[in-house]
Amino acid sequence: MHRYIAWRLLIAIPTLLGVTLLIFSMVRLLPGDPVDFIVAHSSHAVALDRDLIRRQLGLDLPGPVQYFHYLSRVLRGDLGRAIMFNQSVSELIRRELPYTVRLAALAISFVVLLGFSFGILAALKPNSWYDSAIMATAVVGVSMPDFWIGMLFILAFCIKLRWFPLLGPESLRILILPALVLALRSTAIIARMLRSSLLEVMGEDYIRTARSKGLRERIVIAKHALKNALLPVLTLLGLQLGGLLGGTVIVENVFARHGIGYLAVNAILQRDYPLTQGIVLVMAVVFVGINLFIDVVYSYVDPRIRYG
């Protein structure tokens, strides 16, 4: 077990190195002199800052040395200074990250809660009217543009019905709509997957055995079917987490919420490269970490993997 975890940690290292190299190259891929480019395109950088920007990006040194410097700075947690606010990038990210984490956490709870309930409900009586209704909604849900449904929610629940506030201090009430929007597509995907996975398992011999023992249907489903149907759903849930992370960018902008995604879009539109690099790095590390975590959890749930 520990060997498997150690191995997974080890192969994450080259991936992370590749990620840092890619992010490091970002500024160097700009056409012409990056400093000219940044000064010309940013409404915040002044011509006077040129040397400062050059030094901050480490552009005054040879390439490999630059990369080495960059890497050692990053490892010490120093992501440079943002041009926009003339503030430390790590400070800015630390300030915005909790908003995104809260949003994502609530969204994941919605995905698990709603996706599982609807998936099980639909599988209980295949081809019943509620199964058809749930699956039809799921088909639409998968195709639903998240930024559009977000706008419709604002229009209906914030402007017309006034059930939820659109702006205001962070609270559960203000989090619900954005989290629902963020959760929508993953919920639809999970519900569909759980339904088909459950239906497949329900045809197995051990389910017939359980039923013929006289067990109540509720126990057959909860104890025998669900456990086995859950494996493929768990993999999918892991894949959805990454999508959810990307989705926060859209949702935070639709709802004009604080957060990493909102910061990222502004950084890019303002051509604030140190800030953009920092955000992309942090999000990529979080993403790799989530995948690692899921792999490890998965190896606990499914012992076959460890010996594969």
Q: Which amino acid is at 212?
A: S
**SS3 of residue 204 by DSSP:** coil
Q: For another protein, what does the binding mask look like between residues 151 and 180, x meaning CB under 8 A?
A: xx-xx---x---------------------
Q: CA 308, 304, 293: angle at the middle one, nearest 5?
A: 90
b/e per residue, 89-118, with b = 16+ CB within 10 A?
bbebbeebbebbebbbebbbebbbebbbeb
> Which 235-254 positions form the footprint of another protein (CB under 8 A)?
239, 242-243, 245-247, 249-250, 253-254
At its nearest, how many Å lie between another protein and the CB of residue 19?
A: 6
**SS3 of residue 270 by DSSP:** coil
Which residue from 147, 157, 164, 298 is in contact with another protein, where contact means CB under 8 A? 147
100 binds another protein (CB under 8 A): no
Closer CB to another protein, 56 or 117, in the complex:
56
Q: Which amino acid is at 282?
A: V
Which residue from 269, 297, 301, 305 is in contact with another protein, where contact means CB under 8 A? 269
Q: Minimal CA–CA distance to 43: which of 95, 97, 77, 85?
A: 85
Which residue from 5, 121, 265, 296 is in contact with another protein, where contact means CB under 8 A? 265
User: How many residues touch another protein (CB under 8 A)?
Assistant: 50
Cα separation, 226 vs 202, in Å, equals 9
Closer CB to another protein, 143 or 212, in the complex:
143
Choose the binding region for another protein from 58-66, 141-149, 172-180, 223-231 (rule: CB under 8 A): 141-149
b/e per residue, 42-52, with b = 16+ CB within 10 A?
beebeeebeee
Q: For another protein, what does the binding mask look like between residues 15 and 54, x meaning CB under 8 A?
A: xx-xx--xx--x--xx----------x-------------
Which residue from 2, 3, 14, 214 is in contact with another protein, where contact means CB under 8 A? 14
Q: Minimal CA–CA distance to 80: which of 72, 96, 30?
A: 72
Q: Which whole-number Å values give the CA distances from 275 to 92, 199, 250, 292, in the listed order?
A: 9, 48, 18, 26
Evaluate whether 44 touches 84 at the Cβ level (below 8 Å). yes
Evaluate whether 21 touches 297 at the Cβ level (below 8 Å). no
Structure tokens at 6: 């150690």
Choose the binding region for another protein from 9-17, 174-182, 212-220, 221-229 (rule: CB under 8 A): 9-17
Choose the binding region for another protein from 10-18, 50-58, 92-100, 227-235 (rule: CB under 8 A): 10-18
Which residue from 59, 112, 121, 142 is in contact with another protein, where contact means CB under 8 A? 142
Residues in the chain: 308
**Which residues would be at the binding site for another protein (CB under 8 A)?**
14-16, 18-19, 22-23, 26, 29-30, 41, 139-140, 142-149, 151-152, 154-155, 159, 239, 242-243, 245-247, 249-250, 253-254, 264-265, 267-269, 271, 273, 276, 280, 283-284, 287-288, 291
